[in-house]
Amino acid sequence: MNALSAKPAVLVIVGGSMAAVKAPSVLRRLRERGADVRVIATRAALQFITELSLSTAADGPVGTDDHWFEARPDALHLTHARVEAAVVVGASAELLAGAAHGHAGELALATLLSVRAPVLWVPAMNEAMWTNPAVQANVSTLRGWGHRFLGPEEGAFGTRGEGQGVGRMSEPDAIADAVTALLSPAPPRDLEGVRVVVSAGPTREYLDPVRFISNPSSGKMGFAVAQAARDRGADVTLVTGPVTLPDPPGLRVVRIGSALELRDAVLSAALGADLVVMTAAVADYRASQQNGEKQAKVAGDVTVHLTPNPDILAELGREKGRRVLVGFAMETHAGVERAALKAQRKNADFILLNYPTREGTAFGGEDNQVTLVRPDGSFEDWPRLSKREVAERLLSEAARRLPVRT
Ligand code: CTP
């Protein structure tokens, strides 16, 4: 058990899900670690767990919509927001949607809008709901604002354990660990003043006004690098191809379409940069001739002439100077060898090698499992980590290579 040094105030919001029954254990674990807990239960949560169980476990009153507007010096959604961390246990699709859209019509949501401390979501819902694009879009929005997520886990869930798949809420000990981590001192601002350029997402190479060549890159890895660099104090420019992720606050975002546009944006941002991280999945080819008008189909086969796109990382490598350059590579075979050759050819300091065929870590996933490969062929296998953790490690590696600043 990891005890907390001071007595930090932690807000625990309990959502309407079967997992609400685990909320008292979460409250007890947090109190055992020295947290001063405040609880809010949504109307839906109180269908699953009684107010009495929650107030007993919290050793204090439970904030509910019914007492929200009782006369008191300060409104409940403001007093309960003055905390060092907030955690939403049994987070339902409804709460995620409300928070992602700034709703304030119930105490839990109004309080979340007022919280300035880090927020951790611990979702619990069935797999069909969790994987629904509407829910995932809300999760992406919240992540973009810096909210953290724990789970949901794979396993049995539901009243009779009838559900199987991703959707089960993480266990109270894991939740208490994650809240403790949120309360730990902020990450070092070791990139204060460092100018970082990150490219992300796919490019689109139009054949005519309505057809293009592209790839399924989600942009999540690049956004994670940009956000982690921002949080460590860097001045960040994020150049991204078409992705569904919203602009993260606190950094410069340049949206581009084609590889040629990506090249212009990256090269101009890189002029004053100390570190360039190329996570973009750049299309290797574009149409030799782009048709200005939509091409109607014809009988039989058609031939499309493609011309190679410039290699942006290699171009940066040719005029490297003191800039640190990091690339990504995707290989299905002879990964390390090929990635080392790529790092040499492009003059990159190192390359993170991905495996597109590994489950959960390929295009669009939340995690990544990479191997760091240096131009001399030496390498390190990193474990499967969240994209944010991969980003943090990448930045620590890159930071070691930056010239010493005075
Ligand atoms: N990259 C780039 N410009 C390109 C293509 C790729 O800057 N036109 C960058 C990517 O952002 C990535 C790295 O180079 O950081 C490796 O990309 P990859 O496509 O794997 O390399 P290629 O040299 O295209 O290798 P392959 O021959 O395997 O396709």
The full set of domain ranges for the chain reads 9-183, 195-399
Instruction: Tell me the C-alpha distance between 158 and 186, whole Å.
Output: 36
- The active-site residue out of 2, 126, 138, 215 is 215
- CB–CB of 248/227 below 8 Å? yes
Rounded distance between C-alpha atoms, residue 394 and residue 396, angstroms: 6
* 275-278 vs 195-200, strand pairing mode: parallel
21: number of Cβ within 10 Å? 15
Reply yes or no: is the peptide bond before residue 216 cis, omega within 30 of 0.
no
Residue of 71, 66, 76 lying closest to 114 (CA atoms): 76
Residue 327 Cα to ligand 1 midpoint, Å, equals 8
Q: Evaluate: CB of 17 within 6 angstroms of ligand 1.
A: no
Residue 23: CB atoms within 10 Å: 30
pLDDT of residue 169: 87
- CA 371 – CA 383 distance, rounded (Å): 9
pLDDT, tens digit only, all 406 positions of the chain: 456 657 899 999 999 988 899 999 999 999 998 999 999 999 999 999 999 999 999 999 999 998 887 766 678 888 888 899 999 999 999 999 999 999 999 999 999 999 999 999 999 988 889 999 999 999 999 998 889 999 888 876 555 656 667 778 888 999 998 999 888 776 788 999 999 999 999 999 999 999 999 999 999 999 999 999 999 999 999 999 999 998 988 999 999 999 999 999 999 999 999 999 999 999 999 999 988 899 888 999 999 999 999 999 999 999 999 999 999 998 877 789 999 999 999 999 999 998 877 665 567 777 889 999 999 999 999 988 889 999 999 999 999 999 876 5
pLDDT at residue 160, as a whole number: 60
Taking the CA of residue 342 as reference, the ligand 1 atom at the shortest distance is: 23
pLDDT at 159: 55
Ligand 1 pocket residue status of 311, Cβ below 6 Å: yes
CA of 342 to the centre of ligand 1 (A): 8
The CATH code belonging to domain 195-399 is 3.40.50.10300
Domain 9-183: homologous superfamily in CATH:
Flavin prenyltransferase-like (3.40.50.1950)
Q: CA 386 to CA 292: how far, in whole Å?
A: 42
| Structural tokens at position 343 | 């790092």
Q: What is the pLDDT of residue 361?
A: 59
Encode 184-202: b = buried (16+ Cβ within 10 Å), e = exposed: eeeeeeebeebbbbbbbbb
Q: In what helix (H) or strand (E) does residue 330 lie, and over which residues does it extend? A: strand 324-330
- Whole-angstrom distance, CA of residue 243 vs CA of residue 141: 12
Which pLDDT does position 58 carry in this prediction? 94
Look at residues 244, 188, 200, 206 and name the one whose alpha carbon lies nearest to residue 224.
200
Check residue 355 and give its pLDDT: 82
368 has catalytic annotation: no
Give yes or no for residue 354 CB within 6 A of ligand 1: no
Res 205: pLDDT: 97
Give the pLDDT of residue 287: 96
**Dist. CA 228 → ligand 1 center (Å):** 23
pTM comes to 0.67
Q: Atom of ligand 1 at shortest distance to CA of 345?
A: 23
Contact 241, 257 (CB under 8 A): yes
Residue with CA nearest ligand 1 atom 16? 329
pLDDT at 2: 56
Q: How far apart are CA 356 and CA 373, in angstroms?
A: 16
Cα 75 to chain centroid distance, Å, stands at: 33
Measured in angstroms, how far is the CA atom of residue 313 from the centroid of ligand 1?
7
Q: Are the folds of 9-183 and 195-399 the same?
A: yes
- What per-residue confidence (pLDDT) applies to 69? 78
